[in-house]
Structure 1
Amino acid sequence: MADIAVRRVDLGYFVRPAAETGTGQCRVEPVLGYLIEHPGGGRVLVDTGMGRHPEVDAHYRPRRVPLAAALRTAGADLDDIDYVVNCHLHFDHCGGNPLLAGRPVFAQRAELALARGADHTLPELIDHPGARYEELDGEAEILPGVVILPTPGHTAGHQSVLVTRGDGTIVVAGQSHDNATLFTGDVLAQHSGVGHYPAWLHRILAFDPRQVVFAHDNAVWAPGTSQVSAP
C-alpha cells in the first residue's frame, strides 16, 4: 500500500500589525493548510483559510487564495476532501469550512466552546449550514497513522496532527508556535532542562518526528537542527 502523503496548501497571507508582533514592526505571515492523503482512509484537510469580514480585512490586510484554487494547486478538489481538522477556530484557520459543509470537522470540545462564545472568531464560520463537528476530549487516532493531539497554548483547544509514515512522523503543528524558531527553542529547553516549554511537548517528541510544519511559517523544523546536549 502507498504511504500517507502530506502536501502543503498555500491559502495566502496577511499582515500582522506591529502591536501584535512584539517587535515594533508589522510582519507578513503566510496562511498554510495541509492536505493529508491516506491511501486507505481518504483525504484530510488541516485548516481551510481566512474568513471574510470588513473589520478583519481592514486590520490584517489579507490576500486570500480561494480554497478551491489552493486545493487544485495541491492536486485535489473540494469534493475530494473527506475530513477537516482545524488546529483551532480563529478566522484564519476555519475560513473555508462553510465550503466543506457536511464533512466531519474534528475539533477539541474546549475549542468549540470558546468559538461559540464572544470575540473568539467569526461566528458565521462555526455553526454555518451543514456544519458537522466531531468533538474530541483529548488525543484521538482518526485514521490509521493519523493522530490528533491537544497542544494548548495559543488557544485552550489548540490541536496538532501527527502523521506516521514509513520514513518517520510529520507533525502538522498549526499555530502551536508562530514559527519553527520558537519550536526549536522549546525543544532545546526540553532537552537541556533549562527554561520553560509546553507540557505536551514530550508527547510530540515521543513520536520522534522527522519534520514539524506550521500554519504561519514556510520553514520546516527537523531534528538535526536541535540535537544539542546540555552544557
Structure 2
Amino acid sequence: MTDINVRRVDFGYFIRPAEETGTGSPRVEPCLGYLVEHPDGLLLVDTGMGTDPDVDAHYRPHRVPLPEALAAVGARPEDIRHIVNCHLHFDHSGGNPALPGRPVYTQRLELDIARSVEDHTLPWLIDHPGAVYVELDGEAEILPGVVIVPTPGHTAGHQSLVVRRGDGTVIVAGQSHDHAVGFTADVLARRAGHDGAQAPLPFPPAWIERLLSFDPARVVFAHDNAVWTP
C-alpha cells in the first residue's frame, strides 16, 4: 500500500465566549484542517474561517489565510484537487470560495440544511461561483483508502474522514467531538457497556462502533490539538 500522508493545517484560532464554554470563562480554540496527500491528488479537510462582521465580533478570530496555511505544509491552493468539509459551519468552509471547481464532498442532508436553515452558516460560503458538490447519502469511499463516514451530532450532516495507511488508520473526526477527551469518554462508555457494567451508563453515539471498526491508530479533531490514540 502506498502511504497516504495526513498533515495538520493551522487556520488560526477563535475565542469562544464564556456563555458557550460551560466554564464561566472564555476559551481560545484552534481552527484546524487536514491535508491528505493521496496519489490521486491532494485532499483538504476543512478550509478555514469565513469572514463576517457579526461572526468576528462574537468569536474574535485570528485567521491564517488559506495560501499561508497551505504553504506551511508545502502546498498551494492550486494544488488542491478534492475538498471535504466535516460540516458547513463558517469555521470549516471559509476557504471554499477560494477553491472553485474542486469537488466538495458533503452529506446531502448537511447541504440541504446549510441552504435552508437561517444562521446555520454564512450563505456566501455555500453557493459561491464555481461551487461543485458531490452529495452523499451515507458512507462512501471517495478515493482508494479514503472513506467518509457520517458522524451526526454537532450537526445532523456531520461527517468524518477515514484514511487507511500502511502504519495504521487515521480518522479526521472534525467536530464529532469538541475535544479529544469527549471522544475518549464515548469510547470508554462503549467499552463499559460491552463489559456489562451496571446501569446507569452514558450512551455513546451509534457511529462510534463504525469508526472503531477501522481500528484507528490516531483520531484528530478540528478544534483540539490533542490526538486520540487507542
TM-score (norm 1): 0.95
Q: What's the counterpart of residue 172 of structure 2?
A: 172
TM-score (norm 2): 0.95
Pairwise CA distance, 1:123: 0.1
Q: What's the counterpart of residue 29 of structure 2?
A: 29
2:204 pairs with 1:205 = no
2:76 pairs with 1:56 = no
Pairwise CA distance, 1:91: 0.2
Q: Provide the C-alpha distance between the structure 1 equivalents of 2:209 and 2:192, rounded to a whole number of angstroms.
A: 13
Q: What's the counterpart of residue 198 of structure 2?
A: none
Q: What's the counterpart of residue 20 of structure 1?
A: 20
The answer to whether the Cα contact below 8 Å between 2:9 and 2:35 also exists between their aligned partners in 1 is yes
2:87 pairs with 1:80 = no
2:103 pairs with 1:93 = no
Q: What's the counterpart of residue 103 of structure 1?
A: 102
CA deviation profile, 1:71-114 (whole Å, cap 9, x unmatched): 01011000110000000000000000000010000000000011
Q: What's the counterpart of residue 67 of structure 1?
A: 66
Q: Which runs of 5+ in 1 are unaligned?
A: 224-231
Q: Provide the C-alpha distance between the structure 2 equivalents of 1:7 and 1:64, rounded to a whole number of angstroms.
A: 18
Q: Provide the C-alpha distance between the structure 1 equivalents of 2:2 and 2:209, rounded to a whole number of angstroms.
A: 29
Pairwise CA distance, 1:140: 0.4
Aligned residue pairs total 222
Pairwise CA distance, 1:24: 1.1
Q: What's the counterpart of residue 120 of structure 1?
A: 120
Pairwise CA distance, 1:195: 1.4
Q: What's the counterpart of residue 196 of structure 1?
A: 203
The residue type paired with residue 85 of structure 1 is V
Pairwise CA distance, 1:2: 3.6
Q: Provide the C-alpha distance between the structure 2 equivalents of 1:169 and 1:190, rounded to a whole number of angstroms.
A: 20
Percent of aligned pairs sharing the same letter: 71
Q: Provide the C-alpha distance between the structure 2 equivalents of 1:170 and 1:2, rounded to a whole number of angstroms.
A: 14
The residue type paired with residue 218 of structure 1 is N
Q: Which runs of 5+ in 2 are unaligned?
A: 194-200
RMSD: 0.7
Equivalent position SS for 2:164: strand
The answer to whether the Cα contact below 8 Å between 2:6 and 2:34 also exists between their aligned partners in 1 is yes
Pairwise CA distance, 1:119: 1.3
The residue type paired with residue 48 of structure 2 is G
CA deviation profile, 1:110-153 (whole Å, cap 9, x unmatched): 00011002110000000000000000000000001000000000
The residue type paired with residue 77 of structure 2 is L
The residue type paired with residue 8 of structure 2 is R
Equivalent position SS for 1:202: helix
The answer to whether the Cα contact below 8 Å between 2:2 and 2:166 also exists between their aligned partners in 1 is no
Equivalent position SS for 2:170: strand
Q: What's the counterpart of residue 183 of structure 1?
A: 183
Q: Provide the C-alpha distance between the structure 1 equivalents of 2:57 and 2:49, rounded to a whole number of angstroms.
A: 13
